[in-house]
Amino acid sequence: MLIIPAIDIIDGKCVRLTQGDYNQKKVYNEHPLEVAKAFEDAGITHLHLVDLDGARARHIVNYKVLETIATKTSLTIDFGGGLKSDQDVYIAFESGANQITGGTIAVKNPEIFIGWIEKYGGEKIILGADVKDQKIAVHGWEETSELNLFNFVNDYQKKGIQSVICTDIAKDGMLEGAAIALYEALMDRFSDLKIIASGGVSDMKDLERLTEIGCYGAIVGKAIYEGRIRLEDLRL
């Protein structure tokens, strides 16, 4: 299973939120490049980089951070947060993103998101499925839609999506364990999609469990920053 550390950016700094709440913010490092290099030195190959300022502003903001990490590391970077227009996606790829993740845009403006899939290909565009009680949440989790998770994923699989990052909001930042049953249900229904778990990973046992059930990848954030998972444990 692919281990994908997360760097979430506010004001150019590496932070973590609890359950997507901007009022529950903790700054872990003022220099995201230092964090990214530490991941790379530990043998990590992939990075999930989230522009939380962009998610709130609804357009790309922290592309300079992306550019710095992309040019000064060899990490494969998936970038998300605030990508709402063709220009946003162009800037993200020009700044060094290998893939981009779209969540809110896939709900609010599906024609634009489908256009990205058609232009860049299903391997470059990841579907972000942020979930609360099996309903899709948008705008940095500040709003819950009426879209059912499984219908949402099914519709975009038909459009060519190959990878899905699914985040259980109730689990995110809580260090209470991953939503195993949710990911098992997704993989059972969508066996040919790359399902990437996000939210709740608290220790190596969670990663072992996600590996056992067959997740393609797992995004890890707070557990690393809080020292519950050591980078040495993740060495390849």
Q: So which residues are the catalytic ones?
A: 8, 130
Distance CA 53, CA 25 (A): 12
The answer to whether 75 and 40 are in contact (CB under 8 A) is: yes
C-alpha–C-alpha distance, residues 223 and 205, integer Å: 12
- What is the distance between the alpha carbons of residues 228 and 58, in angstroms, rounded to a whole number? 33
φ, ψ for residue 97, nearest 5 deg:
-65, 140
DSSP symbol at 98: S
- Do residues 98 and 76 make contact, with C-beta atoms less than 8 angstroms apart? yes
Structure tokens at 185: 């249900």
- DSSP for residue 179: -
What is the distance between the alpha carbons of residues 11 and 117, in angstroms, rounded to a whole number? 30
Query: What is the rounded distance in angstroms from the CA atom of residue 12 to the CA atom of residue 27?
Result: 10
Identity (one letter) of the amino acid at 52?
L
Cα 209 from Cα 141, distance rounded (Å): 26
User: Residues near 227 by Cβ (< 8 Å), separated by ≥ 6?
Assistant: none
Distance from C-alpha of 15 to C-alpha of 230, rounded to nearest angstrom: 18
